[in-house]
Every structure is written in structure tokens, then in C-alpha cells.
């Protein structure tokens, strides 16, 4: 399970740092060469900036990496401003193919970037809820309206679902790359509060918290609570075993303690999953149609931070 972490480091740090150096050291190369590299580097960086999983590393590296690339872009543009665009020279197969290859790759990342940005918008009416966690900086790992930034879109009932973790002050979500100890994850054990007034229609409490990366593919939501309000069902899932504080039939108030963030169900690491759906019976989840949710009128997407 170190593979996703290593891949993230390569995709979000090693490649952009290489790209930045590449632009920096080739500024002054003939225009078509340098501009084709510029095109690729800008849209690659824009894509990983919006859609990258920055909670895997230190969150602030997102800005450092973007700043590094931006510095090289500006340095190249200043060079051109001072010296003029160097003469194009299209001789030999390599100099013709290379820029074309970079432009094609750049277009792919442009499409991915647009898809990630589109994920910040939703259609229809959103359910407004209060953020269910308190006391820290919380990071949205999955959230938004396109698959590029929200994996929940593979299933209609949980489309618009959100996965949230907590960051330590340094910007990391865990002490260690992918620790097996649950206590090393900042979000583990955080109190979960009801995001609205409503009726508890289901509460499950008996499932174990797994050691990452073990997971439960049968009881997908693990320990969970469903709150029913005005035709909406709100599911809060992957709670800690043994301390879910409500039962089916309870009326809850907004801000009332429901339980704590755990690692039960189908999870890769401790996080809080929340989604709202309409339709189906009041007690069941994953049977209706997922609806957009806003927290304090804000539509949260991957890489959103919530400071509470
Ligand atoms: Zn989820």
C-alpha cells in the first residue's frame, strides 16, 4: 500500500519539479520548442494543483510546487520579452515530432484540468448542512461534481458524497506515510456532530475499526448514522466502534454529538464519509439518488480546506 503514496510523490512533486527545471534550463530555446513545453507544463501543473491528492503529502507543498513552476514560466517569458522569440527551426524529424508530442500531452491535461474545475459547480438545489467536525483544519479528499475530483460519482446514491480527513498543523494527515496505527491519523477519534436537526432512522455501532489498509467490503459504510430531514437522508459513515451516541428513533439537534471518526467499513484509512440522498426507505442508504450538499453554503471539493 505504499504504491499510491510513492505514485503521488512522483506525480505531484518529482514530475513538476523536473518540469520546472526543464523550462528554466531550456529558456532561450527556439520558440516552438519552448512554447510546446510551456503548454504541457502549465496544464499538467494546473491539473495536479486542482485534482491532486495533496493530503497524502504536506498540503502546503501544493503551493510550493505551483510557485516553483510559475517561477520558471515567468523566467522564460522575461527572457523572451528581453531577447525576442528565438527563431523557429524545424529541421529533422525530432524537432518536428517533439513539440507535437508535448502539445498532445498538454491537451490531455487541459481536458483533465477543465473536468476538475467543472467539478466545483453543481446543478439543481443543494442541501445546506452544518459542518460535522470541529477543532482543527479539515481537508476534503473526495468531493465535487465530476469523477476527476470525486470518486463517489461511480455510484448514483452517493454522488456528491464527501470524504474528509483532518490535517496536523504541518499539513500532513498522518504521522508516517501510511501508518498502521489508527492513532497516527489526525482525524481518528474526532467527534462527529449532527449536521442538522432530524430523526435518526438507523444507527450501526458494532463493526471493528480496521488496521489500514485492511478493509470491509461487505459492510461498506461500517458503523454509521442516518439522519432523516425533510425527505433527505444524510449518512455519516465509517464511525468508531462502540461509541455511536444515538439510536434509531432519536430526534437529534444540529451540533449534537453522534460519535467519533473511525475506520470501520470499506475505507482505506480513517476518514468521515458524508452524503445526502433522496428516495427509497428512510432507514436504508445507497437506495436513493444523491443530492448536492453545501456546508454553511459552501460547496466543498477535493483540496478544499475547512478551518473550524
Ligand atoms: Zn466516501
Question: Is 236 within 8 Å of 260 (Cβ atoms)?
Answer: no
Q: What is the dihedral of CA 224, 266, 123, 128, to 10 degrees?
A: 30
Please tell me the distance from the alpha carbon of residue 221 to that of residue 218, in angstroms, as a whole number: 9
User: How far, in Å, is the centroid of ligand 1 from the Cα of 224?
Assistant: 12
Q: Which helix or strand (DSSP H or E) is residue 278 part of?
A: strand 272-278
Distance 64 CA to ligand 1 centre (A): 28
Superfamily of the domain at 127-307? Glucose Permease (Domain IIA) (2.70.70.10)
Distance (angstroms) between ligand 1 centre and the Cα of 92 equals: 52
Residue 285 CA, distance from chain mean position: 23
Q: What is the pTM of this model?
A: 0.94
**Angle of CA points 229, 270, 150, to nearest 5°:** 65
Show me where the domains of the chain are located.
2-118, 127-307
What's the 159 CA to ligand 1 centre distance in angstroms? 10
Each residue's pLDDT expressed in tens, for the chain with a length of 308 residues: 678 888 999 999 999 999 999 999 998 887 788 999 999 999 999 999 999 999 999 999 999 999 999 999 999 999 989 988 776 665 666 667 888 999 999 999 999 999 999 999 999 999 999 999 999 999 999 999 999 999 999 999 999 999 999 999 999 999 998 999 999 999 999 999 999 999 999 999 999 999 998 999 999 999 999 999 999 999 999 999 999 999 999 999 999 999 999 999 999 999 999 999 999 888 888 889 999 999 999 999 999 999 99
Amino acid at each position: 500500500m505504499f504504491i499510491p503514496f510513492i505514485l503521488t510523490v512522483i506525480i505531484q512533486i518529482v514530475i513538476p519539479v523536473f518540469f520546472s527545471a526543464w523550462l528554466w534550463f531550456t529558456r532561450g530555446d527556439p520558440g516552438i520548442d519552448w512554447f510546446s513545453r510551456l503548454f504541457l507544463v502549465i496544464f499538467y501543473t494546473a491539473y495536479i494543483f486542482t485534482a491532486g491528492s495533496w493530503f497524502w503529502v504536506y498540503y502546503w507543498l501544493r503551493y510550493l510546487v505551483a510557485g516553483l513552476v510559475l517561477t520558471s514560466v515567468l523566467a522564460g517569458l522575461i527572457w523572451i520579452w528581453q531577447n525576442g522569440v528565438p527563431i523557429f527551426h524545424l529541421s529533422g524529424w525530432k524537432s518536428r515530432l517533439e513539440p507535437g508530442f508535448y502539445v498532445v500531452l498538454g491537451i490531455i491535461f487541459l481536458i483533465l484540468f477543465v473536468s476538475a474545475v467543472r467539478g466545483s459547480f453543481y446543478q439543481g438545489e443543494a442541501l445546506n448542512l452544518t459542518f460535522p467536525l470541529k477543532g482543527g483544519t479539515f481537508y476534503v479528499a473526495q468531493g465535487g461534481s465530476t469523477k476527476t475530483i470525486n470518486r463517489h460519482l461511480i455510484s448514483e446514491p452517493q454522488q456528491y458524497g464527501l470524504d474528509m480527513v483532518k490535517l496536523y498543523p504541518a499539513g500532513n494527515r498522518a504521522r508516517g506515510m501510511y501508518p498502521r496505527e489508527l492513532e497516527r491519523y489526525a482525524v481518528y477519534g474526532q467527534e462527529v456532530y449532527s449536521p442538522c436537526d432530524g430523526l435518526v432512522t438507523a444507527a450501526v455501532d458494532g463493526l471493528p475499526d480496521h488496521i489500514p489498509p485492511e478493509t470491509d467490503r461487505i459492510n461498506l459504510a461500517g458503523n454509521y448514522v442516518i439522519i432523516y430531514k425533510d425527505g433527505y437522508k444524510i449518512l455519516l459513515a465509517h464511525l468508531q466502534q462502540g461509541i455511536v451516541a444515538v439510536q434509531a428513533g432519536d430526534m437529534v439537534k444540529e451540533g449534537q454529538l453522534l460519535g467519533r471518526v473511525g475506520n470501520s467499513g470499506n475505507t482505506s484509512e480513517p476518514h468521515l464519509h458524508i452524503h445526502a440522498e433522496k428516495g427509497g426507505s428512510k432507514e436504508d442508504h445507497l437506495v436513493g439518488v444523491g443530492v448536492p450538499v453545501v456546508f454553511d453554503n459552501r460547496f466543498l471539493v477535493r483540496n478544499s480546506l475547512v478551518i473550524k
